[in-house]
A and B are shown apart, each in its own frame.
Chain A
Amino acid sequence: MQYWFNLYRANLKVSIASMLQYRFTILIWAVWGFVGPLISLAVWTAVSAARGGAIVNKASGASFGARDFSAYFLVYMIFSHLMMSWDAFEFAFRIQNGQLSPALLKPVHPIHRDASSNIAFKLTTSAMLLPVWILLFVLLKPNIHLTFESILAIPALLLGGALRYVLQYSLASIAFWTTRVEAINQLYFSLDSFLAGRIAPLALMPLWVVGIATYSPFRAMGSFPVELALGHLPADQILPGFALQIVWLVVAAGLFKALWRSGIRQYSSVGA
């Protein structure tokens, strides 16, 4: 325990120092997190303006007004920043140019250093983005009523972040076989857009999409914490939601272990 604590503390220190060195660079990457949710918000605000009021999904009975959309997409923006992971996109480059080889020589699994740099990125950029988030809340006047259940969003956020991280790392290990991962990543991104409620709140989607989303890992690491924080979830869906997060986390960890073990045998260190 002490060992892991020291390991992560040392890694975090190094990562944070290097993030602060390149603060402008990482800030520009972090701004990507604004783009998606704010575009979705603009689209749905325009739709509700065209309808002249709240949008009601006849199939599910859910209703969203302009300020409900602001609440949903603002909270989504912050939560998805806190749960984000980019390893699936970066790992293939490391395999292509042989950068992975030195990392493999170290006595600890490379995932730990990457996880530290993920946490460091979130800590440093969240501190930088906090004023912008507050400003957006003031400007967009979201309709938020915090309830007691909103606190549960914190463990849901942590589980969701862990799930996304492990799942993306498994996806990244596919690069051991294929080297090119654009198509796989795009598939992941497409599924994530719909099933994680990134493009629209799930409550406004066709029922069959919601059905798939509910059992998919994407909702568990996407809109589930957001819906929890905003009190959109009926009480009887909270516990099953957490159970699904844990089940998917276990599955993802198993998948990662299996993929990594056979992948590392496959690895022939290109370019080194």
Chain B
Amino acid sequence: MRYLKLLGVLYRTSIQTDMEYRVDFFTRLVASLLGLLTTIGGLSIAYGYTSTLKDWTYPQVLVLVAVYYLMDGLTEMFIAPNMRNVMSQVREGTLDFVLIKPVNAQFLTSFRTVVIWRAANIVVGILLTLYSVGRLGNHVGLVQALSFAVTMAGGCAVVYSLWLVLVTLTFWFVRVDNIEQIVWQAFEAARYPIEIYPAWLRGGLTYIVPVAFIITIPAQALSGRAHQLPLIVSVVIGGFSLAAATLFWRVGLKNYTGASA
């Protein structure tokens, strides 16, 4: 309860700051619509020559692109800004000020800010989800919607854990801001069905940077391609990675010695 109140205060203050940069939202919206147009244009050229791409039909791939936008937006809005903050705090030694506060350090660092204008990608993602679900026809029922919600939650847990592990690495290596790029490169690849990649790369996208659980499986769930097994796997993987990342963070925190002190 106390944490919920705290979350409200933290988010309220950061939204107040963002309100000063309202035009930002429209620039980002235009940028993300243009990006969407590029992806869809490219896909429709490819689908001009074939009706399915490794068993994915065109409307199903649109669902995939929609999930990509949702996940990208959620990450850039809630997760990435906070994690980048921690990275620079470790480098500058200011993490000390966070650690001495009488609240859970993981909570405070993970939910410090929210960059609301990054919601542009989420808006685009929601619109595209609705549109592509329409294109799918009447394959989408309550079951699909529910399993979509579950797999999305699982995916969010995996994204968060991935970033938490990245941040925890800074306790030992200090500078890892570039590793972030590897995560984004994997995200870029997951804009398309991962079945199109060679086996080794598919393995990397499933087990090393698990975008398969973040993007592919939720898209499969919504388009009715997933069955019970991926659904259970998604929940298990989400819970497991959350637990493992939290444990890793605690170990890392014990190793933190403060940079400047």
What is the interface of chain A, defined by CB distance below 8 A to chain B? 24-25, 28-29, 31-32, 35-36, 39-40, 42-47, 50-51, 55, 180, 182-183, 185-187, 189-190, 193-194, 199-200, 204-206
**Residues of the B chain whose Cβ atoms lie less than 8 Å from the Cβ of A47:** 46, 49-50, 53
User: Which residues on the A side are within 8 Å of B189 (C-beta)?
Assistant: 35, 39
Contact A35–B185 (Cβ < 8 Å):
yes
Q: Name the one of A40, A45, A183 contacting B31, with C-beta atoms under 8 angstroms.
A: A183
A262 to B188, CA, bound (A): 38
- A sample of 18 inter-chain contacts (CB < 8 A) reads A28-B179, A28-B181, A28-B182, A31-B181, A31-B185, A42-B198, A43-B46, A50-B52, A180-B27, A182-B27, A186-B30, A189-B35, A190-B37, A190-B38, A194-B41, A199-B41, A200-B45, A200-B46
* Cross-chain contact B192 with A205 (CB below 8 angstroms): no
- Nearest chain B CB to A141 CB, angstrom units: 14
Do residues B38 and A194 form an inter-chain contact, with CB atoms below 8 A?
yes
Cβ < 8 Å to A, chain B residues 171-201: 178-179, 181-182, 185, 188-189, 191-192, 195-198
Q: Is the CB of A182 within 8 A of B28?
A: yes
Chain A residue at smallest Cβ distance from B56:
A46
CB distance from B181 to the nearest CB of A (A): 5
Interface of A, secondary structure class, is: helix
Q: Within the complex, what minimum Cβ distance (angstroms) separates A197 from chain B?
A: 11
Chain A residue numbers with a CB within 8 Å of B28 are 182-183
B181/A32 in contact, CB under 8 A: yes
**B46: which A residues are within 8 A, CB to CB?**
43-44, 47, 200
Q: How far is the CA of A182 from the CA of B191 in the complex (A)?
A: 20
Contact of A187 with B34 in the complex, beta carbons under 8 Å: yes
Residues of A within 8 A of B37 (CB): 190
Q: Chain B residue with minimal CB distance to A140?
A: B198
Instruction: List 9 extra interface pairs beyond A185-B31, A186-B30, CB under 8 A.
Output: A25-B178, A28-B182, A31-B185, A36-B188, A42-B198, A180-B27, A183-B31, A199-B42, A204-B45
The residues of A that contact B191 with a CB separation of less than 8 Å are 39
B217 to chain A, nearest CB (A): 19
Contact, CB under 8 Å: A39 / B38: no
Closest B residue to A56 by beta carbon equals B49
The reply to whether B182 and A186 contact each other, CB–CB distance below 8 Å, is no
Which residue on A lies nearest to B195, using beta carbons? A46
Known interface pairs A180-B23, A182-B31. Does A43 touch B38 (Cβ–Cβ under 8 Å)? no
